Amino acid sequence: MNWDDLRVFLAVARTESLSGAGRQLKIDPATVGRRISRLEEGLGVTLFAKSPQGYELTRDGARLLAHAETAEQAVARGAEGLSEEGDAGLKGVIRIGAPDGCANYVLPRVIARIADTHPDLEMQVIAQPRLFNLSKREVDLVVSVSAPTSGRLLVQKITDYHLSLAGMRPYLRKHPGISGLDDLKGHKMVGYVPDLIFDKELDYLEEIGVNRVDYTSNSVSVQLNMIRAELGLGIVHDFCLPYVPRMRRVLPELVRLKRAFWLVRHADDRKVERLSRFCEIFTRQMREVVEKLEGET
């Protein structure tokens, strides 16, 4: 058994397909299949059960997975140890999963700050309004809007952030005035598609007593652009407001919600010094960027 075969095994286990593993490793799916067959023959066991849904680990495969992940961490630590002594710059690739509001309006500034002092570090941002699977190594770390309570995870709070009811200045001039929450009944509302709210922390409108929504999207960016197009009012992250100069808060004394961003990574990564160093830098820079953007509103 060699490490290269274990890398292929881990990729298939995490993507549950030969094609997915091939894309991840940049090799042909047929080659992935041959490597898995070679590994199974060498061990004398069947590692995967094939089904219409993909490749599912057998009992033997699940046992090997734990050992393969331990080996993966050992290789990562060994690679770090070969770095030049005294070289403070981070290198390699780090993939970050984040909800699209954070990914679009906060992380570009965070990455720009980190890149100034770590130019050899490649940072990838996966922006999707969904939960990420750290066990399958879809990403190295996740920015989450809630703190997970189960699983083998390291969780730390990054920072609080705020949200406000907002609308475009021309829209507010053309529509009835708003002096209280009851006045919102006379306005169109923009928000999340109700059945696609993947985290209770995103159910903003219900929190302010609005039980209907007229224009919806599962994307913060799309919602922001709907409000920018003067379709109606909606809940907007305060860190987004500097990007839309003519957008104004509505009922700021009544509607200002507070949420938090959390940094989540796999518990096995605790010993990966490179990732721990990155998380320390990332957390500090993200706090500063959110505070600066909110201060510009």
The residue from 47, 81, 115 where one domain ends is 81
Distance, CA of 133 to CA of 170 (rounded, Å): 42
265 found inside a domain: yes
Residues 74 and 96 in one domain: no
| pLDDT tens sequence across 182-230 | 999 999 999 999 888 877 888 888 889 888 899 999 999 999 999 999 9
Distance, CA of 192 to CA of 178 (rounded, Å): 22
pLDDT by position in tens, the chain (length 297): 678 889 899 899 988 899 989 988 889 999 999 999 999 999 999 999 988 888 999 999 988 988 888 787 777 666 555 554 444 578 888 999 999 999 999 999 999 999 999 999 999 999 875 566 666 667 889 999 999 888 888 999 999 999 999 999 999 999 999 999 999 999 999 999 988 887 788 888 888 988 889 999 999 999 999 999 999 999 999 999 999 999 999 999 999 999 999 999 988 787 788 889 999 999 999 999 999 999 987
Residues 250 and 158 in one domain: yes
115 found inside a domain: yes
Residues 247 and 107 in one domain: yes
Residues 267 and 154 in one domain: yes
173 found inside a domain: yes
Residues 168 and 58 in one domain: no
The residue from 51, 81, 111 where one domain ends is 81
The residue from 48, 81, 114 where one domain ends is 81
Check residue 226 and give its pLDDT: 98
Distance, CA of 251 to CA of 210 (rounded, Å): 14
Of 66, 79, 123, 3, the closest CA to residue 273 belongs to 79
248 found inside a domain: yes
Residues 43 and 166 in one domain: no
Check residue 82 and give its pLDDT: 52
Residues 44 and 67 in one domain: yes
* Residue for token pair 């929450």: 181
220 found inside a domain: yes
For the domain that residue 268 is a member of, what is the CATH number?
Answer: 3.40.190.290
Number of domains making up the chain = 2
Of 33, 60, 56, 34, the closest CA to residue 46 belongs to 60
CB 269 within 8 A of CB 71: no
Contacts of 291 (CB under 8 A, 6+ apart): 159
pTM of the predicted model over 0.75 = no
Residues 37 and 161 in one domain: no
Residues 121 and 195 in one domain: yes
* Residue for token pair 């290789």: 75
Residues 113 and 166 in one domain: yes
Residues 255 and 289 in one domain: yes
181 found inside a domain: yes
For the domain that residue 42 is a member of, what is the CATH number?
Answer: 1.10.10.10
Contacts of 205 (CB under 8 A, 6+ apart): 189, 191, 211, 213, 235
Residues 112 and 196 in one domain: yes
Check residue 274 and give its pLDDT: 87
User: What range defines the domain where residue 116 resides?
Assistant: 91-296
86 found inside a domain: no
129 found inside a domain: yes
